[in-house]
Structure formats: C-alpha cells, structure tokens
C-alpha cells in the first residue's frame, strides 16, 4: 500500500456507521408497544429559543400509569411548542394540555395504529440508511482525494471495495432491525 492510503480511516467510517445504527436503535426504542414509556418522546425535538431541544430538557417526563405519559413543562411559554412538536411527530397520540402538564394518553394498538407505527419504523430505518450512505460518500471522497495525491489505482479500488463492504453490511443490519421491529409491532 502507498503512503497515501493511510489517509483512509476505515475505523472512523465504521464508527460513524455504528453511530447511525445506535441512533436507529434509540428511535426504535421510542416505538415501544404495549405500555406507555417516556422513551417514546426521545426522538422529538422542540424549537426552544432558537435551537432544537429534546422534550426531557424542557420538563419532567413521568409515566404515572400504564397507558399515560405526563410532561410537566417548566416554562409556560413552551407548552404550546411542546404540544405542537408531539402532534407533528407522528407518534399517534393527541396531547391534552392541563395547565403546565401535557398528558399523552397511549391508545390501545389496533390494526391501523400498528400499521402507522410500522410506517414510522420504516421512516426511521430509511433515515439511518441515508446517514450510512452519507458516510459512504464521505469515505469515497477521501479515496478520490488520496488518488489525486498519488494513490495507486489498485489501492483506490481496494479501499473503495472496503468502504462499500462496510456500507453493505450496515444497510443489511438496518433492514434486519427494521424487520424485527415491524414483526414486534404487528404482533397482536
């Protein structure tokens, strides 16, 4: 291998792809079926004073009963923004504002709701695939730069295959996780 090949950091590419997988796992955990869970709010971000903020940094999130999530919003000015973010998130529940509290009744999972959750899971998986492909593109760009800096064509081909192999494995893992989550959601 030429000296220029050391510029290609497969470990960094793998770490970034693993980061996309971990984000997907977090998003999938928010799609819990059955009992109410504070985790369903984790992927939801609220525009707060010019920046996107997770709901758990804007109030206290509790699960007082199996089919209810309650958010005690600390700043009264943020209540409507939190409510709107929940409504727009696609988690399939209608928030009920009660003073500083926002109550989220978790509906029973009927067939229609299961299909909705399955579509949300598919959207999360597609976002993870896009992130993985972006990492692949960055890796391929590194290889192109190394080629212009004098990397041999054989080395370029080998590194391109390595990056593509990492990408293929990550995409397969996303598809596998999506299949598992959709199976879990569709179980009655």
Q: How confident is the model at residue 108 (pLDDT cuts 50, 70, 90)?
A: confident
Q: Which two tokens stand for residue 178?
A: 């999506």
In the CATH hierarchy, which fold is given to the domain comprising 3-27+111-186? Topoisomerase I; Chain A, domain 4 (1.10.132)
- For the chain, which residues make up each domain, given as ranges? 3-27+111-186, 35-105
Residue 33: per-residue pLDDT: 63
Q: What is the mean pLDDT of residues 110-117?
A: 84
pLDDT at 142 over 80: yes
Please give the full DSSP string across 85-117, using - where no structure is assigned: HHHHTTSS---EEETTEEEEE-----HHHHHHH
Q: What are phi and psi of 69, to 5 degrees?
A: -115, 135
Q: What percent of the chain has pLDDT over 90?
A: 55
Strand partners, 105: 68
The mean pLDDT of 85-94, rounded to a whole number, is 83
pLDDT at res. 66:
78
pLDDT at 111: 84
Considering the four listed CATH numbers 3.30.1360.40, 3.40.50.300, 3.40.47.10, 3.20.20.140, the one that applies to the domain covering 35-105 is 3.30.1360.40
Task: Give the lowest-confidence range in 47-61, 103-117, 152-166.
Answer: 103-117
As a whole number of angstroms, the longest Cα–Cα distance in the chain is 67
Average pLDDT score, the chain: 87
**CA–CA distance, 87 with 81 (Å, rounded to integer):** 10
Contact 109, 33 (CB under 8 A): yes
Phi, psi values for residue 99, rounded to 5°? 65, -130
Q: How confident is the model over 2-21, as pLDDT tens digits?
A: 444 456 889 999 999 999 99
- Residues 32-77 have pLDDT tens digits of 566 677 878 888 899 988 899 999 899 999 988 878 899 999 999 9
Measure the CA–CA gap between 50 and 25, rounded to whole angstroms: 28
pLDDT score of 1: 41
User: 71 forms bridges with which residues in the sheet?
Assistant: 61, 102
Higher pLDDT, residue 108 or 81: 81
* Structure-token pair, residue 182: 């959709």
Alpha carbons within 13 angstroms on the beta-carbon side of residue 92 total 22
Q: Is the pLDDT of residue 137 over 60?
A: yes
Other CB atoms within a 10 A radius of the CB of residue 105 amount to 13
Residue whose pair of structure tokens reads 């950091």 in the numeric block? 9
Question: Rounded CA gap, 111 and 162, in Å?
Answer: 43
């Amino acid at each position: 291998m030429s000296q220029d090949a050391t510029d290609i950091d497969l470990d960094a590419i793998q770490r970034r792809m693993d980061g996309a997988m971990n984000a997907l796992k977090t998003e999938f955990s928010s799609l819990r079926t059955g009992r109410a869970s504070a985790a369903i709010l984790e992927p939801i971000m609220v525009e707060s004073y010019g920046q996107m903020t997770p709901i758990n940094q804007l109030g206290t999130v509790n699960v007082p009963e199996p089919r209810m999530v309650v958010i005690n919003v600390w700043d009264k000015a943020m209540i409507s923004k939190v409510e709107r973010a929940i409504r727009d998130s696609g988690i399939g529940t209608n928030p009920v504002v009660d003073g500083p509290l926002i109550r989220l009744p978790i509906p029973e999972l009927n067939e229609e709701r299961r299909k909705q959750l399955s579509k949300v899971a598919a959207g999360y998986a597609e976002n993870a695939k896009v992130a993985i492909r972006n990492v692949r593109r960055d890796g391929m760009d590194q290889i192109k730069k190394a080629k212009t800096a004098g990397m041999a064509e054989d080395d370029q081909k080998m590194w391109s295959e390595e990056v593509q192999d990492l990408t293929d494995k990550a995409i397969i893992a996303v598809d596998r996780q999506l299949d598992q989550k959709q199976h879990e959601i569709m179980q009655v």
